Structure 1
Amino acid sequence: MATIYDVSELAGVSLATVSRVMNNNARVSDKTKQKVTAAMEALDYRPSAIAKGLASNKSGSVGVLISELHGPFYGMMMSAIESELRNADVHAIIAAGHSDAAEEKEAIEFLLSRKCDALVLWVESVSDKYLLELSKRSTPVFILGRKINGLAKNCITLDNHMGGYLAASHLAKMGHKKVAYISGPLWKKEAQDRLGGFEAALNEHKIKLNENLIYEGDYQEAGGQAGLQYLFKQRAKFSAVFCANDEMAAGAMSAARDLGLSLPQDLSIMGFDNVKYAEYVYPKLSTINYPVGQMASMAAKWVLKTVYNNKNIEVLNHFEPTLVERESVAKV
């Protein structure tokens, strides 16, 4: 198999010149380009990312850190980033941090050791201080789903407070005055924001959220099941439950049927995220759209614009959630 060294020798030019030709560098004359191209064709040479990087000083890879490698939410995120980068002939190297500060830091150091040209991070446990220090290193850093003061221009965020607000407003407009809430882990900022927005909208409609009807879940289906079972052991009645993500909503639906309830006649259930299966569960799930695919794609575009000098890309930093009405919320 031919190497860049073989191309260099046959064309009679330096390794750096061969790499410049592969990167379409304007500093190489047409005559030299023709010599290198002819040598590549004669040797049936396929350039590698390392060879291309000799002149550009780039590896052609971007490190991506997410919390988990499973689940529809993170699947949409990974797919959108990988697709956007691949279309630009850039590869993604993916690692998981499992919402643990030590594991997140270890994964970040691993990605840096792979000579990634940039990092796209979905991190939940490392501190803002750590991320600010990380941003001072030579590798550009872009943050998904979290706003860091002092690093805001490199953060792509969603208004989670508004998402909770939209959910509560919808339930109130559908006539629900006794509602329950299954939250995400409340040490997470987005979980706090969703709950805060939910309570704010209920207050506007003169509805008080009973503290006994708040259950702290884990964003997993099992957490939704456990949450609904807990809520039904409380003495307070409720006609609707808002789950802070669609996975918990699916778990709550399953638990409700185990309890002999008919949905949405006996109980309305609402989710958050609008993952793909939300429109296939029965009844189809009313939810809040979290445009994670668009946000992940935007993070990749930020990288392409900033690191790979694609000036024609339009970029955004902030996204808004929207209400998706389906069939799991009944009017009362």
Structure 2
Amino acid sequence: MLHVLGGGSLGLLWAARLTEAGADVRLILRDAQALRAWEAAGSSILFEQAGKRRRIALPAQLADDPTEPIDILILATKAYSAQSALQSVAPRLHQNASILLLQNGMGSQQAASRALAQQQVLYASVTDGAWMPAPQHVIWAGLGQTQIGDPRGADCPQWLAHIDQQNINWQWQTDILAVLWQKLAVNCAINPYTALYDCDNGQVPTRAGAQFPRLIDELHSLLERQGAGGTRADLGKYIDQVITRTAANSSSMRQDIHARRRTEISYITGYACEVARQAGLVTPVLDQLHGALKTHLATLGLPPD
């Protein structure tokens, strides 16, 4: 049995696809009110892909459900909720449990590894597009790639064979931290500008202007220091490719602002600035960008962290 903790678009996307692959899945919801609403709506998901809809049964439970231990957990919460979410199910986690983290940014994963020293904690980089037009209705908007790895160097667990069966494009990565650092660099280069200028991804280079190549210089220095290497030209090309491929998209940070939700700034630019400081790197553009973003969020009445 697999448990998915997190009832947002990503959690429901994974729960739906794993259920269709034949896995026995349970969704863990945050409180009794959410569980009652879920059950009142039929304990199911309306799953939409390429204009086709189908309903998928998905039983749900609370974090403190005493009926079964958790052997496999997929954590699909926001990064800032990851620690409290894990604490809520900690008494149920089997000592040999496998936990897959789907969080954006960096920082929450390392905290989870420290808290769960006995269990296998897997990190993932996910690029699928999914959104929810209504509760219990998830639209799979774009097939992406999922890269999974164990930062402690353990082998790929057998249960991941389930996701081969349901159109989940994934790869096992022996250096998952390098993958996450590269994704963090992309997020640092795109998300802040989309938030500050309320623009789609494709407008970022124009909005950022002369500051943009200097930011990429700083991000490359940071990645190089973390052993996530490649050349400066490679990183610039990769960021350009992502911007071109997602030109009409609205970043997750911009979507959070539009929905007046807390952003994941602390796990994107905040984390990058902190690690750069600890490494003794001078990153004036990144620091200025992070500060401007915090001020912008505060002006909007949103948490600046």
TM-score, structure 1 as length reference: 0.25
The structure with the largest strand share of the pair is 2
Q: Please tell me whether Structure 1 or Structure 2 has the larger radius of gyration of its CA atoms.
A: 1
Report the TM-score when normalising by structure 2.
0.26
